[in-house]
Chain A
Amino acid sequence: MTDVKPKASAAPVPDTGLIVPKRRRRPHPVLVIAIGAVVVVALTYVLPPFRNYQLATVGAYFCVTAGLTVLTGLNGQLSLGHGALMATGAYTLALTQNKFMNLPFSFAVAILVTTAAGAVIGLAAARLRGPYLAGLTLAVAIVVPSVTSTFDETFNSDQGLSVVLDPPPEAFPMEQWQAWLCWSAALVVVLLLALLVRGRFGRDLRAVRDDETAARLAGINIARTQVLAFVVSAVCAGVAGALFAVLAQSVSPGAFPLTLSLFLIMAIVIGGLGSLFGALWGAVLLVVLPTLSQSVGEQTGSQRLEGNLALIVFGVVLVVVMLAAPGGLASIPSRITRLIRRNR
């Protein structure tokens, strides 16, 4: 690959609201992550156990939404298969953990396997665009229950597998330990992503998204960039899946339905495609909204409302944000000020 000057890769970028304004210098990611770590540790001491468990779930979701927002927001590849990649990570962790009883090793294997899976799907994805890519990854998402029932000696079909874990160190309650585990993984993942995206790789991603021809002329290897983006994002999904396996201490195909993949899309769209902070808000909503809808369901005494209300809310949010503010909720204030200025 030839040397790329920043000027050359700056293809005519449409004002999509995805580009960060240059005026304010952003604090260095390491600083932000360090502050985040302090906040999370403080929270785990204040929150009651169940809230700690939810906090841990947010951390796990944050891993996958951060990875997906880099893929979809910065590189323009829409993946509906990230639920399946999470399942890959979760099942790999469960199988390895139950055999070797070594959690770090299980995580390493889970990451390796999802890297391989991401590379395979990414190689196919790099040749596809728009709806074709969405359709292929949709098929990947649909295949999970089919794989687990076909190879049921390994995956135990619909029942799934339970994950045997060593108890946490005695000084810490289970939930706090889980929150720490999930958030250390999430913060490491997000820090690496943030550093990656700041540099030349991030510029390549955006250039490929905005104008493939211009990017190619600037010497960017399009296919390699796209496959790499998919692999990076798949690894994030794999880590998240492995965390979910640890959190639930079990894995089953029911935990990774198609709606999970759609929820992930909602999470990254609502926070603004391509924004890591947006991915955090998305992850928070993924935990908060179902809880809220469940409590509404309990109050009205309607079981049907419980799971389904969240679906409707997510769907409405997705449609409304896409139609009214494609830059995500974070872009609404700047949109309003721009509107006011224009009208003046």
Chain B
Amino acid sequence: MSQFIYLTFDGLSRGLVYAAFALALVLIWRAARIVNFAQGAMAVAAVYVAYSVTNATGSYWLGFVVALLAGMVLGVTVERVVMRFVDHSSPLNGVVVALGLVLILQGTLGILYGNEYLPVETPFSRDAFEVGGVAMLSRYDLFVIGAVGTVVVALTLLFTRTAVGLRMRAAAFAPDVSRLLGVSVGGMLTLGWALAAAAGSLAGMLVVPTELGLHPTAMDVVFVSAFAAAVVGGLDSPIGAVVGGLVVGLLLSYVSGYIDVTVTPMAVLALLVVVLLGKPGGLFSSSKARVA
């Protein structure tokens, strides 16, 4: 029982990271109808930037902030320089270009930093508090919950309570009408990519210290898990992404705790197959029409 409680908390903390990453995928999907397969590599690049800054200055928090900014810059660059010019008549094209970006980013990072796993420090201890002899949350888990919670709340407020958020939704939902009404559709798209890349970088910063370490391919499996989370939630729904993230996090935590860590990618594949074949629109798709 105590193991079950521990795994549950561990899964929730992990799931929140997947949720942040899935949110990044959902943001871009809603804005541009592209699944950004380069999200993982972009997040890893941001974490490498943080690694350099932290090593140079000795401050984790400076590195943390710089990573989010670097992620944003990278997101804007990718959208403005590459993705904007992709021919979207076939959905294949966007995916293939994103895969090209993955190769470029991984190759560049490999040349700059080498292909070894670099150890990354966490700002807080990962030793779990014990309540009555049962291990529960660690300080780091609390930090993850706080960070992802802040992002989710901030994004919700942005989209539902501000003029910019309204414009972003309008630009995604009805680009032509929005353009006639004076909304800068291209600008909103770029903003969407920036926000998404920042969320992805945050997820990278949070997840890399809990895994093997920093490596150009460190986010590959995380990307697949987050994609599964986004698909469980339906790709179109931010709330779905958060719930999907928690579902995937719990599943992976139980699988690695009760069976073996090596089985987790298979569990993700199984979940993807079940969801995609059972309910391709995701668990939260009630209507076929697009709801912005």
Contacts and interface: CB of A to CB of B under 8 A. Distances in A.
A311 B97 contact: no
Nearest to A209: B90
24 contacts: A14-B89, A80-B99, A124-B276, A124-B277, A135-B231, A136-B276, A139-B265, A139-B272, A146-B262, A150-B260, A150-B263, A262-B103, A304-B115, A310-B107, A311-B103, A312-B104, A312-B107, A312-B108, A313-B107, A315-B104, A318-B97, A319-B104, A322-B97, A322-B100
B37 A138 contact: yes
Nearest to B41: A315
A143 B92 contact: no
Contacts of A313: 107
B115 A307 contact: yes
A326 B264 CA distance: 37
B35 A131 contact: yes
A255 B153 CA distance: 44
A315 B103 contact: yes
B137 interface: no
B256 to A, nearest CB: 11
Contact of B91 (A130, A150, A305, A307): A130
B56 interface: no
Interface in A319-344: 319, 322-323, 326
A308 interface: yes
A323 B115 contact: no
A315 B106 CA distance: 9
A72 interface: yes
A92 to B, nearest CB: 18
Contacts of B90: 76
Nearest to A151: B262
Nearest to B87: A326
A56 to B, nearest CB: 25
B266 interface: yes
B260 A316 contact: no
A43 interface: no
A318 B92 CA distance: 13
Nearest to A317: B100
Interface stretch (B64-72, B128-136, B194-202, B217-225): B217-225
B241 interface: no
Interface residues on A, range: 35 or more
A112 interface: no
B101 A315 contact: yes
A134 interface: yes
A127 B276 CA distance: 9
B268 interface: yes
Interface string A85-117: 000000000000000000000000000000000
A-B residue pairs, 8 tightest by C-beta: A311-B107, A315-B103, A318-B100, A130-B91, A315-B104, A308-B110, A312-B107, A131-B35
A149 interface: yes
Contacts of A314: 100, 103, 107
Interface in A123-151: 124, 127-132, 134-136, 138-140, 142-143, 145-147, 149-150
A265 interface: yes
A259 interface: yes
B198 to A, nearest CB: 22
B95 A131 contact: yes
A315 B107 CA distance: 9
A147 B263 CA distance: 7
Nearest to B34: A131
Contacts of B97: 318-319, 322-323
B110 A143 contact: no
Nearest to A134: B95
Contacts of A323: 82, 85-86, 97
Given A139-B269, A323-B86, A78 B95 contact: yes
Contacts of A302: 111
A305 B112 CA distance: 9
Given A304-B114, A305-B111, A308-B107, A127 B280 contact: yes
Interface in A177-204: none
A300 to B, nearest CB: 11
A299 B191 CA distance: 43
A266 interface: yes
Contacts of B91: 129-131
A258 interface: yes
Contacts of A174: none
B161 to A, nearest CB: 30
Contact of A304 (B111, B220, B266, B269): B111
A129 B231 CA distance: 13
Given A142-B265, A311-B103, A318 B96 contact: yes
B228 interface: yes
B266 A146 contact: yes
Interface string A60-79: 00000000000010001010
A173 to B, nearest CB: 34
Contacts of B34: 131
B106 A259 contact: yes
Contacts of B206: none
A134 B94 CA distance: 11
A100 B188 CA distance: 63
Most chain B CB atoms below 10 A, which of A129, A146, A307: A146
B273 interface: yes
Contacts of B89: 14
B275 to A, nearest CB: 10
